Amino acid sequence: MIKSIRTWARRGRTILGRGRGVKRLTRIARRLPAPVPPRSEVDPNNALSLPARLRRSGLVRPSATRTSAAPAPLTIRRAVMAPAVAAAVSAVPTTPYEGQKTGTSGLRKKTKEFMKERYLGNWVQSLFSALGDEAKGKVIGLGGDGRFFSKPAAQEIIKLAAGNGLAGVVVGRDAVMATPAMSALIRLRSLYGGLIMSASHNPGGPEEDFGIKFNYSSGQPAPESITDKIYGETTSIKTLNVAEIPDVDLSQTGVTTFDVDGSPFTVTIVDPVEDYLALLKEVFDFELLKSFLSRPDFKFKFDAMHAVTGAYAGPILCDALGAGRDCLKDAVPAEDFNGGHPDPNLTYAHELVELLWAEDTDLAFGAASDGDGDRNMILGKRFFVTPSDSVAIIAARAEECIPYFKGGIKGLARSMPTSGALDRVAAAAGHEFFEVPTGWKFFGNLMDAGRLSICGEESFGTGSDHIREKDGPWAVLAWLSILAHENRDVPVGGKLVTVEDVTKAHWAKYGRNYFSRYDYEGCESDGANAMVEHLAALQTSLNAGDMTLGGRKLSLADNFSYTDPVDGSVSKGQGQRFVFEDGSRIIFRLSGTGSSGATVRIYLEKYEADPNKQGLDAQEGLAEFVKIALEASQLEKFTGRKEPTVIT
């Protein structure tokens, strides 16, 4: 870092221009002690201002930078450097644990499982062993959603990183870093990757869930080529390489340096909001948003569900955009999410729903995010926007409402179970379109290849290529940007364009895809798997004879398979599809996001082009297909469940 500050001070007239910023860099450089020889070419404390880092990283296209706004001031802080502490590396014997296979969203288990001796250590060591020499001398990020066990887990991970030859770890203060913020951190600081401690939307606490996953160098979830190697290492692990360094104070930003077997290892504690907020300011028109949110006739509520976005909502919505603190709900993060289930849907975010549906409500907009901040739910006054409609509407309006997309849309994509609403936007605009398996890593490949701008999943995940994760706060700001743009010329006291107005105008243009998902959580795995086998046999029978189900003609009955157009990898068995000739669909899939048992998911979709028939409640519009799905699957027989846990 010190060497970098001196370097940038010398180059200041070329890189940063003339003025106080260069003088400040020069003054800081003169006061700092001689630099420690770097172990890696990666500098976790880049001395450039955040907007400059954004431009150097290539994350922001020139067309996305708002020239009308004043440039952000250059803020360089002197690092808090502790004297280097000498430490050795110990080889700690261990034995494998069964079942440490990494899924689409990392490893998730009950917290008590992770708290077993060397359980977490085995997986982290297996990760570093799988990465091999490629990771040595590199810097990674570390943080999570702040759930129970995160802080002791962070200390253990830091010691393992040091013991396996990494150059350093950049940690969110108090071990906090929302998933989208981690993706941004990796990209902005050119980190090798990052570890995220989260079980996403699952409950937290001593009796609930914990999880961990690795995101790679472009900020995307690790590909199967890495997760498969991790699992292989977990089955034969014998030794943990642990640096004998003391615990680091995670509550204070700054840098601590250790001498580990003769090489420097740095732990850099950073503000978990700063880099992410800087990126959002480059994506959205903050001046337009600030003007809109300050209107006395526009009221909204953001529900952080006592999860990680509580740490972000105040700095973004209130401090940066000027909204009053009364717009925040449950914005104080808790290790157990205050005993709640931080999943932003109509069931678990029912308190927010009740506020928006109240007869006397003055709220025009509501939004919620999940445990680690990568999911979102969008509500209007007594109006719910399905995630499938949400991503389609954002995609349709992005170029005119969000500065980042002024240069054009590269492509659009959705997960296979998500409704076809986005397909119609892509077709109308002539954008390249992709249907991928569930899992954000499939979007990341397309983004890295320059073929994808906006994407989404029906499971309340929406995002774009500004990072390589789904992004809850981004989706909220995208919707607020649409509303701000629509109402920019409406005088105070005039009739505002609402969430419902925007959605119904979209339906009138593209048609409505009635969509719903039925979740049956915590089913016995044997029964759920037996149902899947029954459906496979049914599909074989249908393909061999009359393609009719429930009196309706089918055009397709298969188990979705995907060939990645970028790397040629093939993903099979991604969900059993029954596609009818009119485009309606029924899909069955077992979810891999829980920590125990199985979640059976049924996805139901019906397309309606007639505006006079687009106003039905989704359950009413899909009633026929619900009946067909339950009869065809014999779900109650196999699982014993009569009612779903959640309907969205």
Q: Is residue 63 left, alpha or beta, with left meaning phi > 0 and alpha meaning psi from -120 to 50?
A: alpha
Q: Where are the alpha helices (DSSP H) in 402-471?
A: 421-429, 441-448
Active site residue 200: yes
Name the catalytic one among 105, 200, 453, 633: 200
Q: CA 569, CA 592: separation in Å to the nearest integer? A: 20
Q: Are strands 193-197 and 139-144 parallel, antiparallel or unpaired?
A: parallel
Of the candidates 267, 148, 140, which has an alpha carbon nearest to the alpha carbon of residue 202? Answer: 148
54: Cα within 13 Å, side-chain hemisphere: 24
The CA-atom distances, in angstroms, between 372 and each of 112, 219, 348, 376 are 20, 15, 15, 11
Do residues 419 and 386 touch, judged by C-beta distance below 8 A?
yes
Q: Where are the beta strands (DSSP E) in 351-510?
A: 365-369, 376-380, 383-385, 411-415, 432-436, 454-457, 461-464
CA angle 569, 575, 581 (to 5 degrees): 110
Q: CA 536, CA 540: separation in Å to the nearest integer? A: 6
318: Cα within 13 Å, side-chain hemisphere: 15
DSSP of 228-291, one letter per residue?
HHHHHHHTT--EEEEE--PPP-TTS-EEEEEEETTEEEEEEEE-TTHHHHHHHHHHS-HHHHHH
Residue matched to tokens 């109650």 = 636
Residue matched to tokens 């700001």 = 477
Helix axes 179-188, 50-57, angle to 10 degrees: 80
**Which residues are designated catalytic?**
200
